[in-house]
Structure 1
Amino acid sequence: MRIQVKYILPILIPLLVLILPASAFPFETLTVMQQRAIALFLLAALCWVLEPIPIYATSVVVIVLELLFLSDKGLIWFRSNAGTAEFGDLLQYNAVMATFASPIIMLFLGGFFLAMAATKYRLDINLARVLLKPFGNRPQMVMAGLMMITAVFSMFMSNTATTAMMLAILTPILAVFKPNDPGKIAFALSIPVAANIGGIGTPIGTPPNAIALKYLTGDNLITFGEWMAFGVPFVIVMLLLAWVLLCFLFPSDENQISLCIKGRFLKTPKAITVYVTFAATVLLWLMGSSHGMNSYTVALIPVAVFSMTGIINKEDLKKVSWDVLWLVSGGFALGLALDKTGLAALLVNSIPFENYAPEIVLLGAAALCLLMANFMSHTATANLLMPMMAALGMSMVSLSPLGGETTLILLVTFAASLGMSLPISTPPNALAHATGHVNSNQMAKVGVILGVVGVALSFVMVWILRMVEFL
């Protein structure tokens, strides 16, 4: 029965929305285009939650349906009355298609090329080997080192790939512990926790960050370096809190453990090219626009260098996480539909948010995002909420003293990455749960505490950014 429901609801409910008369909706005026956008939004939400098809496929479907039924180059029968007050304005087809090649998609693509090259030439393993040496042999300190390295890698690599690599490094350590040693649980949880937290540190660390950048434009524009200026300190504090929590909840019975990671830095011309390009790209990102380039332009440098030198070949291109890029682009397309049809503003204006204290609105938005992110993809959560949060931030005057749209988007973005209470919350959680060393209750206990504390800390972070006049 459940299988049938997950296929029927995403079709039935949007169709019902399409055939209802405009008077059935609680809005004074609703155009045909806005009604279609509502149906598209519900289709995307139900497919992303119930997953009758892969979530990246939902994004592709969203883009195609927008082109067919909402664009100026769609089916002629669905745009015959375009331009009238009752119908609304059509979307530009090239704007919809451009979501596949958004500058933010290029930023992510550059990050993927860096990550693939680093893995292919063992830069990641060798950095882990070097960075772990200063942490000694005490279990707590070794775990701190593993968490730090995982977080740093997650800022520039896929959280999933980072977790898989670090869990492989962790396997010989877990074999040292006795069967009932709680320290085994702490180590198994430390990797996904650090991966989820670490992704917050850079715009390319996790898709919700990239989605947020889409709406932080104009006066609200935040550069790569500026994001790291507040993202990295947030990650450091959260990592410290997570480490203390894991040590407290699951203290190890071992006094010493030994960790041996074998490897050496390659010195071939291609390996050196990877090292130099990686360092140069990150440095250019950190310099902001002082060199005249934005982060999107810089992101294409490793793409060109690695393609030209054969460091990334056509076989490697097949390993690019195209599903993530499609998922993010589908979110951009959905946001475009909600914005250009005026639906996002209509939904926001239909609720008297101005009657509520701005602090309550901010807390409610962050809490809603955190709750959703625990039960569905972080990217899908951001895709659904961000367009409406952007509209709310622009329309709610009482939010202006607190940073307006930028504050709201940052809080929601951070909350999306902090949803890590269940094995299904994130791929890193699923990988850790699959090791068999941690159960759902233990993961939920840590995830809930860190999620709530993280949202509270994000409010503190925003307050500090307001104090230094960053927002």
Structure 2
Amino acid sequence: MRNIPKMEESEPAELYTLEEPVAESTEINQQSPGERAPADTPTVNLRRWGGLAGGLILAIAMYLVLPDSLAQPGKVTAAIAVLMGIWWMTEALPIPATALVPLVAFPVFADVPIKDVGASYGNDVIFLFMGGFMLALAMQRWNLHRRIALLTLKVMGPRPGAMIGGFMIATGFLSMWVSNTATAVMMLPIGMSVLLLVAKVMPGVGHSTVTETGETVLKSKFATALMLGIAYSASIGSLGTIIGTPPNTLLVGYLNENFNITIGFGQWMLVGMPLAIVFMFLAWLVLTKVLFRPEIKEIPGGRQLINQELADLGPASKGELRVLLIFVLAAVLWIGVPIVFEKPPISDAGIAMLIALLLFVLPGGSARGVRLLDWASAVQLPWGVLLLFGGGLALSAQFSSSGLTEWIGTYATGLAGLPMWLIVGIVALVILGLTELTSNTATAATFLPVAGGIALGIGADPLLLTIPVALAATCAFMLPVATPPNAVAFGSGYVTIGEMVKGGFYLNLVAIVLVTLTSLTLAVWVFGIVY
């Protein structure tokens, strides 16, 4: 596999002892972790410093060119939005660090109390996502996610097309609840086990190639389709739930905070699930029937390999079964509570926190007193993503309170003459292009308030333009840098950039059509949108 960036491992304990080093010590052992940190490449350095300076210059320029018809707070908000957008896109600062800018900028330059800005970082949608992450961590802690994946593959059988479909279904389902990165990382070694089996029993299929790390792999259309199928379905499946991907969560928070529009967990699934199912089927068709049709009819020993993997897992433990029960309970509550109660006594975020607390309370069935989830596991939460949510929501809240959203709307009235399908399609196209190069969460955080302002300006329901922003932001398929699952597939050595661009281009075309149709049909029916 190619080297994929990973978190730094903790430093050896002996580096921090107070004893005098023995004669074998070297100068490097006396350096601090910061001094030993690997140097940035000149390209990365240039991008970061260029982004830092460019963001500041463009922010000042934005403030100066805006007319006096926009009040001071609105001009400051626009300038800060440009600054954060540039810094997010260039990663001039770590993405979560840029999300902290509103806590400094708005109190200083827009006279907004810091407690008002800080309230966005405690929005209930952040706790919904936090609870979802804790459930996912519990699934990983007890290997429930791996068993679900293997059982799905066992059902699909050893035919290449069906097996690729099985990988995509398992990956897509898991990515609705577990982060798409973690899902792709988990599914990759299972997929590579299948490819190694094919190389062993059918060495004449495909051709050998040497990866950047010097490993020799047997490349084939089947291998390419399988690796891309895992990567693409990790992104596609996450569209199905609010907690599946950060842009969905940001959308829910933005609409609730700025338009008092509440989207329930079950409501979103009525939109996201059909979209994910249709999209995944079309992606499977494109990969296995159009672009990378597998050269083999059946994988000898494929079923036995999956059975062996299941056997290695052993029987389901009490902890695993209890996490499964909690998982089912969470899904039932998220979907059922709004149906049973006209005014639900507990919100989706409250349910998420209830589930998280149950995971900490319930034992895993071990005499050792192990709980389903402990804090050592919980601290693996992507805290940076939660900060990013807070920064995005703080920025969007200031768009509304400063009058910037309405001001953008007045300049967007000229679009009212265009067909709505064309406006939605253009929004999807623009966001798709941006998310290939930038973080999907940062893209959504930057453009949700802009889309909301345009919707107000043309007299449209804000849902009509903000839903395609959230959906399109997750549809990044063409480049390894677009999203971590793509990088994971590329790092396997079985996929070239050219193959990823080829597959991603076709899927992006499909995404534009599906996002537009979903926004104008299914979403209209589920949310009662009138246009």
TM-score of the two chains, using structure 2 as the length reference: 0.79
Q: Contact 2:255 / 2:262 at 8 angstroms: preserved in 1?
A: yes
Which residue of structure 1 lines up, in the alignment, with residue 440 of structure 2?
378
Equivalent in the alignment of 2:328: 279
Residue 372 of structure 2 aligns to a residue whose secondary structure is coil
Tell me which residue corresponds to 2:255.
Answer: 216
SS at match of 1:251: coil
Shift of 1:12: 5.2
- CA RMSD in angstroms comes to 2.2
Q: 1:123 to 1:65 in 2, by over 3 A?
A: same
* Cα separation, 2, equivalents of 1:5 and 1:118: 38
User: Could you tell me how far apart the structure 2 residues matched to 1:367 and 1:15 are?
Assistant: 28
Matches of 1:328 and 1:468, distance apart in 2? 25
The higher radius of gyration belongs to 2
Conserved? CA contact 2:51–2:90, under 8 Å: no
1:83 maps to none
Are 2:277 and 1:236 aligned?
Answer: yes
Tell me the secondary structure at the aligned position of residue 301 of structure 1. helix
Is 1:182 matched up with 2:221? Answer: yes
CA contact (8 A) 1:126 1:264 kept: no
Q: Which amino acid aligns with 1:255?
A: K
Write the distance in 1 (CA, Å) between the matches of 2:468 and 2:415: 17
> 2: distance between equivalents of 1:212 and 1:40?
20
Distance 1:183 1:120 in 2: 31
Deviation at 1:412, TM superposition (A): 1.7
Change (3 A) 1:267 1:386: same
The C-alpha deviation readout for 1:110-163, integer Å capped at 9, x for no partner, is: 110110000101111111222222211101101101100100000011000000
Given the superposition, is the C-alpha separation of residues 181 and 455 from structure 1 closer, same or farther in structure 2, using an over 3 Å criterion? Answer: same
CA deviation after TM superposition for structure 1 residue 13, in Å? 4.7
Q: Aligned partner of 2:489: which letter?
A: A
Cα offset, 1:215, TM superposition: 3.0
CA–CA distance in structure 2, aligned partners of residues 469 and 120 of structure 1:
37
Which of residues 27, 48, 51 in structure 1 aligns to 2:88?
Answer: 48
Residue identity opposite 1:35 in structure 2: K
| Contact 1:394/1:405 (<8 A) preserved | yes
Alpha-carbon deviation of 1:14? 2.9
Range with bigger deviation, 39-48 or 192-201? 39-48
Aligned 8 A contact 2:408 2:457 in 1: no
Shift of 1:15: 5.2
Counterpart CA distance in 1 for 2:264 and 2:177 is 16
Shift of 1:41: 1.1
Task: Identify unmatched segments of 5+ residues in structure 2.
Answer: 1-41, 200-204, 206-217, 363-370
**Distance in structure 2 (CA, Å) of the matches to 1:19 and 1:123:** 52
Does 215-224 or 198-207 show the bigger shift?
Answer: 215-224
2:480 aligned counterpart, secondary structure: coil
Q: Distance in 2 between matches of 1:229 and 1:325?
A: 25
Gaps of 5+ in 1: 71-89
- Tell me how far apart the structure 2 counterparts of residues 8 and 244 of structure 1 sit (CA, whole Å): 42
SS at match of 2:434: helix
1:445–1:27 CA distance, 2 compared to 1 (3 A): same
- Report the Cα offset of residue 220 of structure 1: 4.0
Residue 320 in structure 1 maps to residue 392 in structure 2 = no
Q: Output the amino acid matched with 1:413.
A: A
Equivalent residue runs for 1:93-108 within 5 Å: 93-108=114-129
Q: Look up the SS of the partner of 2:278 in the other structure.
A: helix
- The answer on whether the counterparts of 2:247 and 2:473 sit within 8 Å (CA) in structure 1 is yes
Aligned 1:134-213 pairs, distance under 5 A: 134-175=155-196, 176-177=198-199, 178=205, 179-213=218-252
Q: 1:53 to 1:9 in 2, by over 3 A?
A: closer
